[in-house]
Structure 1
Amino acid sequence: MDHKPVSVLFVCLGNICRSPMAEAVMRHLIEERGLAGSIKVDSAGTGDWHVGHPPHKGTRQLLEREGIRADGLIARQLRRGDLETFDYLVCMDDSNVSGVLVAAAKHGLSASGKVFKLTDLVPDKGVDGVPDPYYTGNFDEVYELVRAGCERLLERIVSESR
């Protein structure tokens, strides 16, 4: 993978629970596999309620428990440039997919082919979307889905880059 880095943007509602968790997990997996510099990872929310805040305490505690760094994670909202530049726009649920597609249409852009749900990569988990722990409180369930999805996404990126 010696060309332009592949870029992945994880998207959830407020960018404080699910998408920053996915960003941190993906960064961790990329480092473990010696692929730093080959894949760029970021996260954003479709809403603006938490812009400028660090990840939710539950996300930070879970990442710390798993030995995954969360430094540098600050909530931000999805921007037009994200829709233009990221190769993968990986959403946590159907609502986030809709939010990304509406934002793209609003800017006259097509996000076709690069927007999908993280759980689309893990059909064996039997869930349609990553539940929002902001409401459920179940950060462990979210981590299991995010970890499995990120592992499959990394496999996909590596195989597509060959």
Structure 2
Amino acid sequence: MDHNVRVLFVCLGNICRSPMAEAVMRKLVAEKGLEERIAVDSAGTGDWHIGREPHEGTRGVLDAHGITYVGMKARQVIPQDAADFHYIVCMDRKNLKDAHEMMESALGQQAAGKLFTFMELIPGRGVPDVPDPYYEGNFDYVYELVDEGCHALLDKIKADMGWS
């Protein structure tokens, strides 16, 4: 299946924020009938959770909203992601910096506009980063941000691609 658009969400360990965003975005894409056009994935800048399912807090919030995460396993960002994804959405500024460094060799001139922070999608919220619920325990608040931001991202993709 060849997708027109590939989206990658990036956080630190790929067990809380980025898999939450992946699951929410997949649901939105499916609701709009765009599964053939948009592929969604997530990854972490750290390597200590590779192969693990999403954090229990993330799973709980997704379950409460009827959003599936079946088959999702943590993986680490790799340089090839720079070429494979059109939108690389980092959950905070530190992960933006780290992801850029991890993909720098493969990014070349493609970097402009491809990597950005999640909160750039919803600037009206007035916070620069999606807080890490692994440390904060605020999974419901993170879900609110993720849901709002994923709607904004889908609107951005549709506008960028000229889809109605």
Scaled by the length of structure 1, the TM-score of the pair is 0.95
Are the aligned partners of 2:14 and 2:42 in contact in 1 as well (CA < 8 Å)?
A: yes
Q: Deviations over 1:43-77 (max 9, x none)?
A: 00000010000000000010000010111110000
CA RMSD after TM alignment: 1.1
- Structure 2, unmatched stretches of 5+, are none
* Counterpart for residue 21 of structure 2: 22
Cα distance in 2 for residues equivalent to 1:63 and 1:75: 16
Structure 1 runs, 4 residues or longer, greater than 4 Å off: none
Percent identity between matched residues is 54
**Residue 107 of structure 2: SS of its match in structure 1?**
coil
- Structure 1, unmatched stretches of 5+, are none
**Residue 14 of structure 1: SS of its match in structure 2?**
coil
1:21-100 equivalent positions in 2, closer than 5 A:
21-100=20-99
Cα distance in 2 for residues equivalent to 1:103 and 1:134: 23
* Counterpart for residue 126 of structure 2: 126
Cα distance in 2 for residues equivalent to 1:29 and 1:4: 16
* Counterpart for residue 146 of structure 1: 146
Cα distance in 2 for residues equivalent to 1:134 and 1:86: 26
* Counterpart for residue 159 of structure 1: 159
Task: Give the count of matched residue pairs.
Answer: 159
Are the aligned partners of 2:19 and 2:42 in contact in 1 as well (CA < 8 Å)?
A: yes
Cα distance in 2 for residues equivalent to 1:65 and 1:83: 33
**Residue 44 of structure 1: SS of its match in structure 2?**
strand
1:100-139 equivalent positions in 2, closer than 5 A:
100-105=99-104, 107=105, 109-110=107-108, 111-139=111-139
Structure 1 pair 108/72, CA: closer, same or farther in 2 (3 Å)?
Answer: closer
Scaled by the length of structure 2, the TM-score of the pair is 0.94
Offset of 1:4 from its aligned partner? 4.2
Structure 1 pair 27/108, CA: closer, same or farther in 2 (3 Å)?
Answer: closer
Cα distance in 2 for residues equivalent to 1:159 and 1:109: 24
Q: For residue 152 of structure 1, what is the amino acid of its counterpart?
A: A
